[in-house]
């Protein structure tokens, strides 16, 4: 089964509500969709969600690398030899992880459709659903509380609160959210590299009564030792996110015990295949994994979900990047019920977006 045709198209999606994190405010997202056609009539789809701050890519750079590198490599290749294709492309796409991810997704989509099975079942099928957190961006205290209540009323049982600008303000927001939502809702906190070690320690101590489940990337990714100092001195799990861009990063940080948890995002590491390898290193180091996302169309969220469902130590999910996107051509690629994500059950990634 050879690849006979490949094409991409760009989709800009506005957000229903812009949100703010430690270093930027986001009001829209641009994703690149990929379609791979084969000689057997089976078609696979993938998505790239480039982010200059995180992946180092732009929509233009993804489209350029597709035309110059990806397209020539795919045409005429055997679609089911995904390991060979990805291996050949990887050396050329070191600085284009989300572009590699969209190819990886589409090839897994083809594999699942050929087998007549959802991807997560092909990968092991450890579970068939997972609870996801939903994110509250940086906003004034009253808005933070109202947003938390809204999400709980919608059935979400885990909230991720963004911070990192002013740790004293963040302390008040976390404490007030706990007071507003009660004890049963899980709270997670993400500083997006915004704190010093000292600020992180003060923050964790001050919010002790709120019983936050974990703190995510409190310190700058360029200073891994700072993350290690936090990990050594707090009594809650510390998760690396921006510090983990690839398999080697995971190995380096895990070897030195600089973290308790790993946030794996397909767009950062280069797709499902690479995510499985990062997860294997984390598993060997006895680290739990969260599957995360950026502002990604639902089809990309589905790929992250299939990865999460396949492995036992992927204990957490933060797969909410599609929820506020307007006119997502892959809307419906995942099913959300009371804060729990389900795959569609269809073969492959479970959804074919329309051109």
Cα–Cα dist 114/143, whole Å: 48
Catalytic residue among 216, 260, 274, 296: 216
Q: Are 240 and 258 in contact (CB under 8 A)?
A: yes
Following CA atoms 97, 134, 129, 263 in sequence, which dihedral angle do they give, to the nearest 10 degrees? 40
CB proximity list for 307: less than 8 A, separation 6 or greater: 120, 123, 264, 266, 272, 275, 276, 279, 291, 314
Span 168-194, mean pLDDT? 97
Span 111-126, mean pLDDT? 97
Residue where one domain finishes, among candidates 76, 100, 116: 116
State pTM to two decimals.
Answer: 0.95
CB proximity list for 1: less than 8 A, separation 6 or greater: 38, 39, 40, 42, 78, 79, 80, 110, 114
Cα–Cα dist 341/129, whole Å: 6
pLDDT of residue 21: 80
Is 162 catalytic? The answer is yes
| Model confidence pLDDT, tens digit, residues 3-37 | 999 999 999 999 988 777 877 778 889 999 999 99
**Mean pLDDT for all residues in the chain:** 96
Block residue for tokens 């995942």: 334
Residues 106 and 195 in one domain: no
Structure tokens at 192: 């997006």
Q: Collapsing DSSP states into helix, strand and coil, what is residue 312? A: coil
Sort residue 223 into left (φ over 0), alpha (ψ -120 to 50) or beta: beta
CB atoms within 10 A of CB 227: 26
**In this structure, is residue 281 part of a structural domain?**
yes
Catalytic residue among 241, 249, 260, 328: 241
Catalytic residue among 113, 160, 162, 268: 162
Q: Are 32 and 10 in contact (CB under 8 A)?
A: yes
| Model confidence pLDDT, tens digit, residues 228-246 | 999 999 999 999 999 999 9
**In this structure, is residue 349 part of a structural domain?**
no
Cα–Cα dist 304/265, whole Å: 8
Is 265 catalytic? The answer is yes
3-20 and 288-292 beta bridge pairing: unpaired
Span 249-274, mean pLDDT? 97
Is 166 catalytic? The answer is no
**In this structure, is residue 173 part of a structural domain?**
yes
Return phi, psi of residue 248, to 5°.
Answer: -65, -40
238-240 and 261-265 beta bridge pairing: parallel
Domain that holds residue 313: 121-343
CATH code for the domain in which residue 66 is found? 3.30.390.10
Residue where one domain finishes, among candidates 58, 83, 116: 116
Q: Are 133 and 158 in contact (CB under 8 A)?
A: yes
Residues 335 and 262 in one domain: yes
**In this structure, is residue 33 part of a structural domain?**
yes
Residues 208 and 245 in one domain: yes
pLDDT of residue 243: 94
Output b/e per residue, 232-268; b: 16+ Cβ within 10 A. Answer: eebebbbbbbbbbbbbebbbebbeeebbbbbbbbbbb
Listing DSSP states for 232-281 in one string gives: HH-SS-EEESTT--SHHHHHHHHHTT--SEEEEEHHHHTSHHHHHHHHHH
| Model confidence pLDDT, tens digit, residues 71-112 | 999 999 999 999 999 999 999 999 999 999 999 999 999 999
Residues 191 and 229 in one domain: yes
Cα–Cα dist 134/319, whole Å: 8
Residues 145 and 215 in one domain: yes
92 Cα distance to chain centroid? 23
Span 270-274, mean pLDDT? 97
pLDDT for residue 355 is more than 70: no
Is 160 catalytic? The answer is no
Is 71 catalytic? The answer is no
Catalytic residue among 90, 113, 160, 265: 265
Span 293-302, mean pLDDT? 97
CB atoms within 10 A of CB 155: 12
pLDDT of residue 251: 96
Q: Are 131 and 157 in contact (CB under 8 A)?
A: yes
Q: Are 256 and 233 in contact (CB under 8 A)?
A: no
pLDDT of residue 166: 92
Residues 108 and 231 in one domain: no
């Amino acid at each position: 089964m050879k690849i006979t045709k490949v094409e991409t198209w760009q989709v800009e999606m506005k957000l229903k509500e812009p949100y703010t994190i430690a270093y930027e405010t986001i009001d829209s997202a641009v994703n690149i969709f990929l379609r791979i056609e084969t000689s057997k009539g089976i078609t696979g789809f993938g998505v790239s969600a480039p982010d200059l701050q995180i992946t180092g890519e732009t929509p233009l750079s993804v489209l350029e690398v597709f035309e110059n590198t990806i397209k020539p490599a795919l045409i005429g290749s055997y679609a089911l030899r995904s390991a060979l294709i990805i291996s050949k492309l990887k050396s050329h796409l070191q600085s284009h992880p989300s572009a590699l991810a969209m190819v990886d997704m589409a090839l897994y989509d083809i594999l699942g459709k050929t087998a007549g099975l959802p991807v997560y079942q092909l990968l092991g099928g450890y579970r068939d659903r997972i609870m996801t957190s939903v994110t509250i961006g940086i906003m004034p205290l009253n808005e933070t509380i109202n947003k938390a209540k809204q999400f709980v009323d919608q059935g979400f049982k885990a909230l991720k609160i963004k911070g990192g600008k002013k740790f004293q303000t963040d302390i008040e927001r976390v404490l007030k959210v706990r007071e507003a939502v009660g004890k049963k809702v899980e709270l997670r906190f993400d500083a997006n590299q915004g704190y010093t070690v000292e600020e992180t320690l003060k923050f964790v101590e001050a919010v002790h009564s709120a019983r936050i489940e974990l703190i995510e990337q409190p310190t700058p990714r360029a200073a891994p030792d700072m993350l290690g100092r936090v990990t050594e001195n707090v009594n809650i799990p510390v998760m690396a996110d921006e510090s983990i861009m690839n398999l080697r990063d995971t190995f380096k940080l895990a070897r030195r015990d600089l973290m308790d948890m790993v946030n794996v995002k397909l767009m950062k590491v280069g797709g499902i295949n690479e995510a499985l390898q990062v997860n294997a290193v984390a598993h060997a180091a006895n680290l739990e994994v969260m599957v995360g996302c950026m502002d990604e169309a639902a089809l990309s969220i589905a790929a992250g979900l299939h990865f999460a469902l396949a492995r036992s130590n992927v204990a957490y999910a933060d797969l909410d990047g599609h929820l506020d996107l307007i006119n997502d051509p892959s809307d419906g690629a995942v099913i959300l019920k009371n804060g729990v994500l389900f795959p569609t059950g269809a073969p492959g990634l479970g959804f074919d977006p329309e051109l």
